[in-house]
Each structure stands twice: as structure tokens, then as C-alpha cells.
Chains A and B, each alone.
Chain A
């Protein structure tokens, strides 16, 4: 199963990177979102999958899956949510102020020289 998950993760990464490299801000946000999913799955995968029961203590189980990566992913999900929300509003404001979401048109630098 880990092999399948590794390949799935790799594909998610590839798609995410391609989206991030595109010119439209929308696609970039979608890309970062996908990238996060990929990372979460990667963390999960690295710890090993399906070894023992869910990490809820009860009397009839002795072995649990590793709870630590789950805690890490949980933290990451929340942070990612905050960042994505912020990024979305940023894109909204940028579009409102500048009237474009094309990165080529959002280029800076030349007038700052």
C-alpha cells in the first residue's frame, strides 16, 4: 500500500507544481492546496500505514497506529487552512486593486531600480 500511496503522492506533487508554475493566481492557489494534501499524505505514508488500530485507548487492543504523525498532520491542516484563506483574500484584494490575476502583469522590479 505504501508504494501505491507514494506514487499517488508523487502525482499530486507533480500536478501541484505545474499549477503553481502557471500564470493565473487562481491556479496557484489551487496548486498550493494540492501541495498540502500531498505533504499530508507523505507524512502519513512515512510513518507506515495500518499498523494496529486507531489511536483510541480501549481495553481490547494492544497495538495502535503511530499517533504522532497524525498530531502533526492535524496541526498542519489547520495552519494550511489559515494560510489558504489568507491567500484567497489576498488574491481577491489584489484583483480588486490591480484588476488582474495574471502573474506576468503583476511583475514588479523594473520601476524599483
Chain B
């Protein structure tokens, strides 16, 4: 057990402690207790961080289930450290923010913080796991805790709907990912990511390697809300705003990004991997930024912007992985730059998106609405909030002097170098990226100007807006300062985190082999180039489009009909599945015993006949048969006649007599077949049974002439004849095919062994006496059952 294990354990301990303490510490806000966790962990992880040098990777392990290769193996390198710092750092700010955001008196804070701690622990576990199964366990735990947090206000229908939807989608991806992991295990024989990477080509030649890649990508795409699995994220906005800020912008949705980055050394050299990620990422980027324009709810707008920015990061990871492909070896350096951009934008996005969500939360808190149609003209009422929102939104739009500017420039460099060093038609990717950036610029302007400037609608707002309490502004203030700091001092992260991370992600990239001294250097100013021109174009075109927004929005948005979208498709699919399942079940679960019996008998006929005929096992061998006497034949005919008589009889008495006749002929058969004890028993039992039948039938209603339809009768007749035929054939073939001699010889020693001359009785009470004992129990139970049925009366239903 190392300190790293303890670090992951800490949030889980608090999951238990918080509800316990909650009862006794009602006087203070529970958030202050919860705050201990992210602060401690942030400080702990900061000790590994140094501006000038990369950390030495640490691997620690504690055995869990060694027999399946599952150990609590944790691995801390720059990539994990980056995520751990984001999780704990933004976690600290979010907890601090939520202390002021959530009411101590009205909310169930014990639930809130317990779920939040659960999520934090799971997320830390995901990014620190080296074992694929452990990673999967924590991964699903993030889904579950996210589910709990989205449905925090479970009284609301929309919350429950959103939680359910996100669970369905992320769990589907999770299972697919598990499948991919298992294939990886089959290919490599280990669950350790380190070891799989070290094995190199030994793993990649496995027949199912490419399917495994897609299964894992499906997991990453569902978690990171990539097209077409993005549909859960806008509905997850029903969660409290601190949760949206934390889970649905800064951490959980980046789990997919983490997974892609982490597994790039395994899959990166494959073009399928790179292009799938690039295309999905670019589509997500364009779709998300366009849809964000349509939103009126600020949180929904931010949800789409998150989707779009995640698409951007994903596509950069795809471009970056091309650096490992041998076809693109000469341009390795340009593609590595895309990795740098991806990681840098990841940091930037967490910073500004976290801040923006908190600002939206403040707006909601102070004005009572998040609808941009109601907001407006509150700039002079909330100047500080306005400033922070502006910083976040400008950073997101990619404007100087904010961190987002640099990452956007680097993004353009990435897609431009992709276009330059690939096929001609790839040029479309930078163009799409550029257009998506214009959309991004427009919705960023909408966030700022539609909510803070313009006319002030006093009548639409529930309360008079004013600045929020100081505590609520601390977290956005810290994030805003960071957003600026990342522009002026990108050196804070370049050599310390980004460089070792990129080297980790592309260990075999030709660049690093040729040039071991390669260093990342990010600077705010990188000369006049095409990227800068593109940015200026975005600002000019974006400003013009924003100013004419009211004119073009309706015709453009109506290009695609409103009901034609993935949300409707999802709802219809869920509904359709339920309906179809119900219909199928209702079609055969009719409640009629006769139907069920028909299924069983039909299956028996099909299975037995198919086996008999299919394996050619039917043999008719009468050579060993015993001779037929005339009186035996007569008895057989009598049995059959009696049976048919019962079949067509419409009177109770006649039926009972028919059954009695059969019973007695059978006891006569037993006489002929040298079974005196059987004959005796059969005779007695048949007599008693007949008496019982007579006794009972007296109380039962008269047998009606059968009212069943012809079709019903015909089906039953076919099934009945089928069963009879099957069993006859089975009996004949089994008889004609003897595997070994019967053990009857042994029982003929019954006198020597048991002192009995009646062999059958010796078997019953001596050799196989257990049968007899239990058969007595059966009779006993039947007796008790009958007594109960006759004696005990249910007084009637009172409830």
C-alpha cells in the first residue's frame, strides 16, 4: 500500500464519512468537510509537479485477484499527473463554489457530496490505473456516480430522464470497451497497459486487434460525447450547475480523451485509428458548434460547446497519432505538434469551461433564469461576473490575450499540416475546422452580449440581479486568472507536462528517434502566418455574422427539420424497443396452459425427431424380440380400444371406466411380463384411483361435449400424434441398441447378500432403499397436501 493508493482511497473514505458527519454537523455546510479531499489531493499531486523537469513515472501495485491478473496497479506519469491535477484542482474550486451555490437548508448535502467524492475517487482511479480491468472498474464507477449526480433532483422528470439516458449510452460504450480490453488481453496475455505497449508488434498482429480498437474507441466516444453519442450530454444539464461544471465539462467527458491518449502507443500506428478519430472529432466539432447557436438555455449552449471542443481535442489526437505511422514518417514533427495542441487545449478547455459553467450558475442564481431571451442589460448590475464571463468566453472563442488563442492557433497548425501532408481532399478538414471556429466565435459572443448587454427586461426576471456573494466568485476568479496566465506564461505547462506526455503518447515516433533533444516550446506569438490570418478572418466574419444573427438564424436553422435529429431517433428507438419486446412477449405468453404445453411438446418432437433422423440413429431390430402370443395381442388391442374410447367419451363415468380398463389391462401385462409385485400393486392402486376418480368427479362439473374449435383440435391432434410417434421411434431405437449387459445378474444374489428371495422387494428395501424412503415421503406430503386442501379454508380477501 503506497501513498498513491491512499490518495485514491481518500475520496472513498469520505463517501462513508460525509453522511456520518452530516447528522452531527448541521451547523456548518457539509462542503467544508468535503473540501478537505480535493485540497489534500491537489497538494499531494503538486509535489510531483515541477516546472522545469518531467516526473519519473511511478508504478505501485497491490494484489487484488492475482488469478485473473487483476491487481491494483497504479501508474503515475505526466499524462496521469495532468489529469489528476485537473481533477483535484478543478475539484477544489467546484466544491468551494458549491458551498455557496447549494443551500444548506434546502438540499440533501450528504447525498451531494458523497456522490461527488465517489465520482472524484473513480475519476482519479481511472486516470491512474495501469491495469485495464481496474481502469474499467473505475470507468463504470464514474458512469454510475455521474448517473446519481444528474438525477440529484430526482423529483424532476427531466433529471431522471437525463440520468437514465446518460447511463444507457455510457454503459453501452463501457461494455464495448470491456470487450476490447478482453481481446487485448487475449492478444497479449496481460492486462497491464505498460506491458502491452512494451510488447509492440506481438500484440498488433492478433486477428481481432482491429475490432478491439473499434470496441475501445466506442467506449471513448460515448464517454466523451462524440458524434453520434453526444446526445446524452445536453440532457445531463439537468444536474446542479457545479456538477455540470465539474463532470460535464472538465473531467468525466475527458475520460474518453484520456483513454485515447493513453492507448495511442498501442493503436496509434494504425491509420484506422487516426482517421476514425480525426473524422469523428471534426464532425463532432462542426455539429456541436452549429447546434450551440440554436440554444436559448445557456447551459444547453455550453453543453454543445463542450461537445464541440471535445471534438476538437479528439481530432487533434487523431492527427497527432499519424506521427507514428510509417507512411507519414517524414512529417512526424508536424503531427507531434498536434499532440502538443491537443494537450494544451485540454488544459485550456478545463479552465475556461469550468469558469463559464460557474458563471452561468451565478447568473441563474442571481436572476432566476438561464434563458438568453430573458437576460440582458445586466452588465452594470453585475460587472465582476461580466468580466469573468468575458474572459472565459473570449478564451473559448480563441482570442488573445487568453490561453484559448494559443491552442486555437495550434489547432489550425495541426489541421493545416494534416492537409499539407496528405491527400488533396483532406483540405476540407481545415475548412470545416475554420467554419466551426466561426460558429464558436458567434456563440461565445452570444454568451457574453446576449446575457449582459442590450435591453434590461425587469419584468421577465424573478429577482433583481446583483453581484453574487464573494465566495461564489472565488473559483471563477482563479480560473479566469489561469486563463490569462496560460497566454502569458505557457511555459508553466510546456516542458513540465506537455512534453513528457507527448513523448509518452508517441514513443516510437520517428521524430524522437532522430531528434532526442526535441523540446516543446509554446509561445503566445509565433509570427505572421496563415493561422493568424485565419483567426483574423474568424473575428471579422464572426463579428459580421453575430451582428446580422437575427436575420439569418431562422432560415438557416430551418434547413434541417426540427424533428429530424438524433434525440428523436433515440427516443423512438427506446420506445420502439419496449413496444416490440412487449408485443413479442404478448404474442406467445398468452396465459393459456394449453399453449405452453403445445410449445413444450412441439419442441420435444422437433428436438427428438431431428436428432433421431439427423444422426441416423433409428434402427428397427426385431431379431431379439420375444414371441407374440395371441392373448397378448388381444390385451394390446383392448388397451388401445379403451384409450380411444376415453378420447371420444363425453361422459364422466365412461371416461373413468375407460381409464380403469387400461389400468387393469396393464396389470395383466405385468402378469404376463413376470412381474407379480407390479401386477399386485397396479391392481390395488388402480382400484383406489378409480374409486378416487369417482369420488371427486361427483363434485366436478359435468363433462361438456367439447366446445373447442376444429383448428384447435387439429393442432392438438397433430402434436399428440407427433409425440406418440416420436416416443415409439425412440423406444424402438433404444431397444435395438444395447451398449452393455444389464446389471440384473448382481441382484440375483439377493438371497446371499440380503437374505431375500423376492428380488424386487430386496431392491426396494435393501439395495435401493433410499428410493423407497423418499417415495414414502412423497405419499406423506401428498396426504398432508390433500388434507390441507380439504380442511383449510381461506376466509376470503379482506385487503
Which residues of A are at the interface with B, using a C-beta cutoff of 8 A? Answer: 1-27, 29-30, 33-34, 37-38, 40-42, 44-58, 64-68, 70-71, 73-75, 77-79, 81-86, 88-93, 95-96, 100-101, 103-104, 106-110
Contacts and interface: CB of A to CB of B under 8 A. Distances in A.
B591 to A, nearest CB: 4
Contacts of A106: 593
A101 to B, nearest CB: 6
Contacts of B779: 78-79, 81-82
Nearest to B723: A17
B622 A86 contact: no
Nearest to B695: A88
B685 A77 contact: yes
30 contacts: A1-B626, A4-B628, A5-B636, A10-B725, A12-B639, A13-B728, A15-B647, A15-B720, A17-B719, A18-B716, A18-B719, A21-B594, A21-B601, A22-B716, A34-B659, A46-B735, A50-B673, A50-B674, A55-B674, A57-B758, A67-B763, A68-B743, A68-B747, A71-B760, A79-B779, A82-B783, A86-B786, A95-B700, A96-B699, A106-B593
A68 B675 contact: no
Interface string B661-672: 011001001101
A30 B655 contact: yes
Given A74-B677, A78-B681, A89-B696, A49 B626 contact: yes
Interface in B238-289: none
Given A14-B723, A34-B646, A50-B673, A6 B633 contact: no
B628 to A, nearest CB: 5
B789 interface: yes
Contacts of A55: 674-675, 747-748, 758-760
Interface in B624-653: 624-628, 632-633, 636, 639-640, 643-644, 646-647, 652
B724 A13 contact: yes
B738 to A, nearest CB: 9
Contacts of A66: 742, 744
B579 interface: no
B744 A64 contact: yes
Contacts of B652: 26
B264 to A, nearest CB: 51
Interface in B738-765: 742-744, 747-748, 750-751, 756-760, 763-764
Interface of B: 589-594, 597-598, 601, 622, 624-628, 632-633, 636, 639-640, 643-644, 646-647, 652, 655-656, 659, 662-663, 666, 669-670, 672-678, 681-682, 685, 688-689, 692-693, 696-697, 699-701, 703-704, 706-708, 716-717, 719-721, 723-725, 727-728, 731-732, 734-735, 742-744, 747-748, 750-751, 756-760, 763-764, 768, 771-772, 775, 778-779, 781-783, 785-786, 789-790
A58 B632 contact: no
Interface of B is mostly: helix
B696 A91 contact: yes
A10 to B, nearest CB: 3
B441 to A, nearest CB: 55
Nearest to B633: A4
A83 to B, nearest CB: 7
Contacts of A25: 700
Contacts of A88: 692-693, 696
Given A13-B728, A18-B720, A84-B689, 9 more contacts: A8-B639, A10-B724, A11-B640, A53-B674, A67-B747, A82-B779, A88-B692, A88-B696, A95-B700
A73 B120 CA distance: 67
B762 to A, nearest CB: 8
Contacts of B626: 1-2, 48-51
Given A46-B734, A57-B750, A71-B763, A24 B696 contact: no
Given A8-B640, A34-B643, A46-B734, A70 B593 contact: no
Ranked nearest first, the 3 interchain pairs of A and B with the lowest CB-CB distance are A14-B724, A10-B728, A82-B782
A19 B696 contact: no
A42 B731 contact: yes
Contacts of B670: 44
Nearest to B605: A17
A57 B669 CA distance: 21
A11 B643 contact: yes
B789 A17 contact: no
Contacts of B790: 89, 93
Contacts of A14: 720-721, 723-725
Contacts of A1: 625-628, 632
A47 B760 CA distance: 14
B706 to A, nearest CB: 7
B702 to A, nearest CB: 9
A100 B530 CA distance: 89
Contact of A71 (B594, B628, B719, B768): B768
Nearest to B592: A107
Contacts of A89: 696, 785-786, 789-790
Contacts of A101: 700-701
Contact of B591 (A71, A86, A107): A107
B655 A86 contact: no
Contacts of A58: 757
Contacts of B689: 33, 81, 84-85
B742 A79 contact: no
Contacts of B704: 24
B107 to A, nearest CB: 37
A70 B643 CA distance: 24
Given A55-B760, A100-B701, A103-B593, A6 B786 contact: no
Nearest to B763: A71
Contacts of A7: 636, 728
A12 B727 CA distance: 10
A110 B591 CA distance: 8
A45 B673 CA distance: 9
A41 B681 contact: no
A18 B760 contact: no
Contact of A2 (B597, B735, B775): B735
A92 B760 contact: no
A30 B659 contact: yes
A34 to B, nearest CB: 7
A20 B721 CA distance: 13
A79 B772 CA distance: 10
Contacts of A79: 775, 778-779
A112 B633 CA distance: 52
A66 to B, nearest CB: 4
Contact of B669 (A41, A64, A107): A41
Contacts of A37: 662-663, 666
B655 A26 contact: yes
Contacts of B590: 107, 109
A17 B742 CA distance: 31
Contacts of A108: 591
A74 B719 CA distance: 30
A110 B727 CA distance: 35
Contacts of B743: 68
B728 A54 contact: no
